[in-house]
Structure 1
Amino acid sequence: MFKRLTLLWTVVRGDARQLWAALRHPAAPGWLKLGAALIVIYVVSPIDIIPDFIPGLGVVDDIVLVPLAIRALLKRLPVEIARAVGRVR
């Protein structure tokens, strides 16, 4: 599992930092917090779309779905939060 988390972090490093900053913003909406919590639950959950024991394919769903989910949350940020975290629109 540590290897999977390390690989994910290298893929989503910048977006994850922006999401973390948005979550810490005083005006962060509830849907943002819920979405981030669901992403974390998916990453640490042993249930995956493609099981991790399949060599080579086990982490593909995480490497694809997690960055897409983070980007989807960041695209929907309110303007003032997007500007505050450096995601200028």
Structure 2
Amino acid sequence: MTGSFWWDLLIGIAIALLATWLVLVIALVVARPRGGLLKEALRVLPDVLRLVRRLAADQELPRGVRVRLWLLLVYLAIPIDLIPDFIPVLGYADDAIIVTAVLRGVVKRAGLDAVRKHWPGSDDGFAVVVRLAGLS
């Protein structure tokens, strides 16, 4: 393209990173909770984070579930978001969407009883988690 190997390599890497980022953004849009569930997910997010921490520490759960939960906690602790906060709507909601997607997998694999056992919030909040997990 440019005639220089290093510039061509740099441009290729930049294009690959941009394409990967766009695919991840599209995946987030597809996986987001529908209707008013996104607003509810943001409302119960603090309780869900405590739930994720408790589930990740539960040795009775399958190792694969605990690994996913720890990876989720690491992602949430990193200050760099997949979607920057200045992007409208999805900027602040990306964490809630990712937590929801992981929680759906955890409920399918570990069962709703394990989630209920570790739920730190109210019964209304748990009802929201059940809807987020796609069980309603």
1:73 to 93, 97, 106: 106
For the pair 1:83 / 2:113, whether they are aligned, the reply is yes
**Cα distance change, pair 60–31 in 1 and its aligned pair in 2 (3 A):** same
TM-score by length of 1: 0.56
The CA RMSD over aligned residues, in Å, is 3.2
| Residue identity matched to 1:75 | K
For the pair 1:13 / 2:13, whether they are aligned, the reply is no
Post-superposition Cα deviations, 1:22-68, rounded to whole Å, max 9, x if no partner, equal 44444222212211111111112233221123354411222222112
Q: Which has more radius of gyration? A: 2
Residue 12 of structure 1: how far off its partner (Å) = 6.8
**Cα distance change, pair 46–76 in 1 and its aligned pair in 2 (3 A):** same
Structure with the larger RCO, 1 or 2 (CA within 8 Å, 6+ apart): 1
Q: For structure 1, which runs of at least 5 residues remain unmatched after alignment? A: 1-6
Q: Is the 8 A contact 1:50 1:57 kept in 2?
A: yes
Identical pairs, percent: 30
| Residue identity matched to 1:63 | A
Q: Distance in 1 between matches of 2:71 and 2:59?
A: 20
Q: Distance in 1 between matches of 2:90 and 2:115?
A: 34
Q: Distance in 2 between matches of 1:34 and 1:14?
A: 17
Q: Is the 8 A contact 1:15 1:70 kept in 2?
A: no
Q: For structure 2, which runs of at least 5 residues remain unmatched after alignment? A: 1-40, 118-136
Q: Is the 8 A contact 1:52 1:59 kept in 2?
A: yes
For the pair 1:30 / 2:60, whether they are aligned, the reply is no
